[in-house]
Structure 1
Amino acid sequence: MVHLKEPHLSGLGRNPAAPVEVMVRLAAHAAGRHGLTTRKGQLPDAVAEALLTHGGSDTAVSLHGDRVSPAMRRRIAEHPDPAIRDAYADFVRTMVERGARMSIEDLVEAYDRVPTELAASSDPKVRAMVAVAWQDRPITVQLALLTDPDPGVRAAATRSEHPGVPDDHYERCLADPAVQANIARRLPLTFDQFARLLATGDEAVLHAVAGNPHLTADMVTYLQGSEDPHVHVAVAYSRHTTPETRDRLLALVEAENESGRDDAGLALHWSPYSPSWLRDAPLAERLTYLQCPHVVFRREVAASGDLPDHAWRQLDEDPDVSVRRAAAHRPDTPPQVLLQLLRAHGDLSHIRPMLVDHPNFPRHELRGFVEEQDPRVRILALKDLELPPADLRGLAASAESFLRAGTARHPNIPTDLLELLLTDPEPRVTDDAAANPLLPRAQMDRILAKAGL
């Protein structure tokens, strides 16, 4: 993370080329410690010691596990100051108390107990955290958690699909208000069980049941009588719903959204429902959805891997860009399709792998992206690791700070341009420039000297 007031120091703390002596000096400043505690890899002992000296217990929280050597872990465990000695364990215990998710490795290290012992802790918040964090727990532990006296623990034990609920515990769980919603969304239900869940009147249970992928046709028909927009969307996405009913339900929710009904907007744009069943449907059935008026169905078809050429051509020309993006992720996407899509719309960094990294993408075309008008497209030129200095200078002069930051991170940036970006008014750009391993040692020393280090 960037230290907004001293980004030079936080960036330098993250710089993988920073010598130990530089890092030790950085540890004397809060912004330097900020960067050092977020850098990747194990910290040298001298740096960890400097962090303890200047940062105390606040910094000691980050000095655990593989972040420090075994010798330094022993040093911290035996430290005379209990605030430093117990900093990490106290942090984890506080997070558990607040219900913030921690990994099972965090719990084992902080409590110094094996997972089976933690699962039997006298503290229900610890047991609940184990139920969330220990995904591959044995069935004996799962059964104990499913029958735990604390409802929060039972809820945590059923939050994920695995390790699941044994058959002989279905009825017990279906009758338990603490876990009904969790299991109603994934367990196969008889019509009697289905009716009993709806009779609870619990909205969370209703929404969970509506999204259950195992519902039968008569259950889906029954749900059509609901007035809840989330249920309407779930039913519309069901494999048992006719096209006419689907159109009617979605049109109703869209009309409610336009009239200002907030839950209708949430149901349309933020619900967890999707027609994911379509991915496993027979090819002939999937092909009938190529002309579906609802984007979500075409997008699911585009996620297939075995469509005929004519279907791919149609999806590559779909009016909705999200459908075209989904289709472009197939293994044999033509290079020209990828190029045209990215030139028109750029890429999405939160969907991995990115399309620009597709094996068929013509990477020799990347350099030409510096001429694109849309900055969201132009940034892809930085994927060319040998982008010429002249092009990097042009990108560094962009009005958009994300383009300047990307230039500051580039592995082919000239030293003088890197030093120029160290003066950028945007902290993220300055931080990234200071974190670039091409930064000369002399410039590192100037940064330290300016900060009085």
Structure 2
Amino acid sequence: MRDLVCEQVRGVAGNPATPSELLLRMLDDSDAAVAVLIFRNTLPDEFCAAVAAHPDRRVRAALADSSSATPQQRALLVDDPAPMVRILLAHGPELFRATPAPLPEEAYARLAADPDHRVRDEVAGSRQCPVDVRARMVEDPDPEVRVSGYAGWADPPEGITDRLLADPDPRVRDAVARRAWRRRPELLAGVLDEAWSDPWWLRDLAVEIPLARATAERLARHQDRDVRAAVAENPHLPRDLVQELATDPDPTVRLRLSLRPGLSEAERAAIDYEVRPETRLRPARWVLDRLGDPDALDGAVRSAHVGLRRSAAYSPSLRPDQVARLAGDDDFAVRLLLCENHDEVPGEVLLATYLEARVITASMLIARPRFPRVGLARLADSADPRARMLVRHDPEAPAGLIDRLSRDGDGGVRSRMASDPRLGAGRLAELLDDPAAAGSAAGNPNLPVALMERILAGAGILRASAGSAGGEV
């Protein structure tokens, strides 16, 4: 399928006004069917029922992995003949910063009894697996499934922990001990012994475990810099080892040390660390643990350490005075994180941050509750194409202005305007031939059905017939 035609088909696939009968006809082409499953926000039940019976496994897999399908629609695949489809169904869609809605409980029960251990393992590892189903997963004949079942349990009962600590398979016993030591300190020595040969696991432990002197020294002087960086944040680290790590040769270690709890502002400033505007910084763990307590975050909000201010900006619970302080921060990342996480950021700050942002998540700011919309038409003559694109979101922008911007010299601006319902059918037909805007134009709810049919016929998906709706194609 040619690139332009492919964009047009994807637009029709995602168009909320595309009739159900056309969507069903698109099932005759596997690529078009997958496009519907990927690009639509909602899916008709009859379409999903037809997908569940589709002969192409790729199409059924797209439904199993669809973030647009309802749990009930996805559950139609619970007995799919292809194990990979059932694995995807059990795993659920990957959603950015969100958790997919759970399947019906009966679907989890069926998948938990699946003959393929990989399907059962996905069910066991799902945080959404119902508790009564999970209780069966920790008794599964496959040890990997038992491990996943326990790992996915938010708060496993003590009786389950006791039983699995005596499991006949050492892999199960080790995995359970690695998690249970927080409630059962007597397990920590054995867990730590195992972890010395696994730097990845050792880093996780080093951040939080109580530290005997010999263990603290061994971790603080470990050859792996990430282990040293982890223990640098451990609140139990002895003071002399804190001072030793303050001069560690690795800048990553010094930076993590500068974020540790309990240091004064002067002590943080005395550490040789650097946070550049472009530095991608993992938030301080102790700040993340307190995101729901704005009073406990006040020191981080007011800190001279930009890393602590960035960490505090993750909190959705900040007080108005804290929001105001961080909204005026000199560091762009602080302002961006605040805008992404707090609903009460002023509209002018959201707009200014969006226009300054050059990150992939910038467009998410437009959906924030206080993002200003009325009045964005004033940006129509801005030199910045990203500003001109915002006119599309002004509910009071006149149709003539949208039409004018659909002829903009920037392809991104034309594409954004091509999705606007204020555009007439004639202009949409013209934009279908614009490589930059064809997909958006084909997805415009004002697109006549006759043009949808013409697109699908041009792609070889439809054949013209006397009974085709919407006129000649």
Do these two structures clear the TM 0.5 threshold for a shared fold by scoring above it? yes
Secondary structure of 1:447's partner? Answer: helix
Q: After superposition, give the CA deviation of every residue in 1:50-70 in whole Å (9 maximum; x if it has no partner).
A: x899x74458736899979x9
Q: Secondary structure at the match of 2:125?
A: helix
C-alpha displacement of 1:157: 1.4
CA, structure 1 residues 18+206, in 2 after alignment: closer, same or farther (shift >3 Å)? same
Q: Report SS of the residue matched to 2:221.
A: coil
Residue 224 (structure 2) pairs with residue 228 (structure 1): yes
Q: Could you tell me how far 1:358 is from its partner in structure 2?
A: 3.9
Asked if structure 2 preserves the Cα contact closer than 8 Å seen for 1:185 and 1:211, the reply is no
The 5-angstrom pairing of residues 74-89 of structure 1 reads 89=80
Q: Is the Cα contact below 8 Å between 2:284 and 2:308 reproduced in 1?
A: no
Give 2:350's match in structure 1, choosing from 338, 341, 347.
Answer: 338
- Alignment partner, residue 330 of structure 2: 319
Question: What is aligned with 1:11?
Answer: 11
Consecutive unaligned residues of structure 2, counting only runs of 5 or more, are: 94-99, 256-278, 464-473
Aligned to 1:289: 300
CA 1:323–1:149 in structure 2 vs 1: closer, same or farther (change >3 Å)?
same
Q: Is 1:286–1:301's contact at 8 Å kept on the other side of the alignment?
A: yes
Q: In structure 1, list runs of 5 or more residues that go unmatched.
A: 78-85, 257-267
Are 1:369 and 1:377, in contact at CA under 8 Å, matched by a contact in 2?
A: yes
Would the alpha carbon gap of residues 253 and 179 (structure 1) be closer, same or farther in structure 2, given more than 3 Å must change? farther
Query: How far did residue 334 of structure 1 move?
Result: 3.4
1:68-115 deviations in Å (ceiling 9; x for gaps) = 9x9x99xxx9xxxxxxxx997023x23457998248999989xxx764
Q: Aligned match of 1:438 in 420, 424, 446?
A: 446
Instruction: Pick closer, same or farther for the CA change 1:288–1:178 going to 2, 3 Å.
Output: same
What is the TM-score with the length of structure 1 in the denominator? 0.69
Identity within the alignment, %:
24
In the superposition, relative to structure 1, how do residues 117 and 446 fare at CA in structure 2: closer, same or farther (>3 Å)?
closer
Measured in 2, the distance between the counterparts of 1:440 and 1:198 equals 66
Q: 1:231 to 1:291 in 2, by over 3 A?
A: farther
Q: Aligned equivalents of 1:314 and 1:334: distance in 2?
A: 12
State the Cα distance separating 1:297 from its structure 2 match. Answer: 2.0
Q: 1:439 to 1:48 in 2, by over 3 A?
A: farther
AA aligned to 2:225 is P
Equivalents in 1 of 2:85, 2:400: separation in Å? Answer: 49
After superposing the two structures, state which structure 1 stretch, 320-329 or 230-239, moved more: 230-239
**289, 294, 299: which is aligned to 1:277?**
289
* Map of 1:188 onto structure 2: 182
Within the candidate set 431, 441, 450, 1:421 is matched to 431
More moved, 233-242 vs 191-200: 233-242
* Residue 400 (structure 1) shift: 5.4
Confirm or deny: 8 A CA contact 2:199 2:224 kept in the other structure. no
Q: Tell me the secondary structure at the aligned position of residue 90 of structure 1.
A: coil
**Shift, 1:421, TM fit:** 1.9
Residues 381 and 387 of structure 1 are in contact (CA less than 8 Å); yes or no, is this contact kept in structure 2? yes
Q: CA deviation at 1:228?
A: 2.5
Measured in 2, the distance between the counterparts of 1:224 and 1:358 equals 43
Tell me how far apart the structure 2 counterparts of residues 3 and 316 of structure 1 sit (CA, whole Å): 43
- AA aligned to 1:252 is P
The separation in 2 between residues aligned to 1:203 and 1:99, in whole angstroms, is 33
Q: Which residue of 2 aligns with 1:138?
A: 131
What whole-Å deviation, never above 9, does each CA across 1:237-281 have from its counterpart, x for those lacking one? Answer: 44556786786569532799xxxxxxxxxxx95879744124256
Report the AA paired with residue 435 of structure 1. Answer: G
Shift of 1:195: 3.2
Where in structure 2 are the equivalents of 1:123-162 lying within 5 Å? 123-133=116-126, 135-138=128-131, 141-162=133-154
Change (3 A) 1:333 1:418: same
Q: Give 1:153 shift.
A: 0.8
Counterparts of 1:240 and 1:424, CA distance in 2 = 62
CA shift digits 1:28-60 (9 cap, x unpaired): 5555444445445454759977x899x744587
> Residues 342 and 10 from structure 1, CA distance in 2 versus in 1: closer, same or farther, beyond 3 angstroms?
closer
In the alignment, the residues of structure 2 paired with residue 282 and residue 87 of structure 1 have an alpha-carbon distance, to the nearest angstrom, of 45
Q: Aligned pair in 2 of structure 1 residues 236, 418: CA closer, same or farther (>3 Å)?
A: farther
- Greater share of residues in helix: 1
CA distance in 1, matches of 2:134, 2:450: 58
TM-score (norm 2): 0.67
Q: How many aligned residue pairs are there?
A: 415
Instruction: Output aligned runs, 1:156-305, within 5 Å.
Output: 156-164=148-156, 166=158, 169=161, 172-173=164-165, 176-178=170-172, 180=174, 184=178, 188=182, 192-200=186-194, 201-212=197-208, 215-216=209-210, 221=216, 223-239=219-235, 252-253=251-252, 269=280, 274-275=285-286, 276-279=288-291, 283=295, 285-290=296-301, 292=303, 294-304=305-315
Q: Corresponding residue for 2:84? A: 94
- 1:81 is matched with none
DSSP 3-state at the match of 1:18 = coil
Q: Which residue of 2 aligns with 1:447?
A: 455
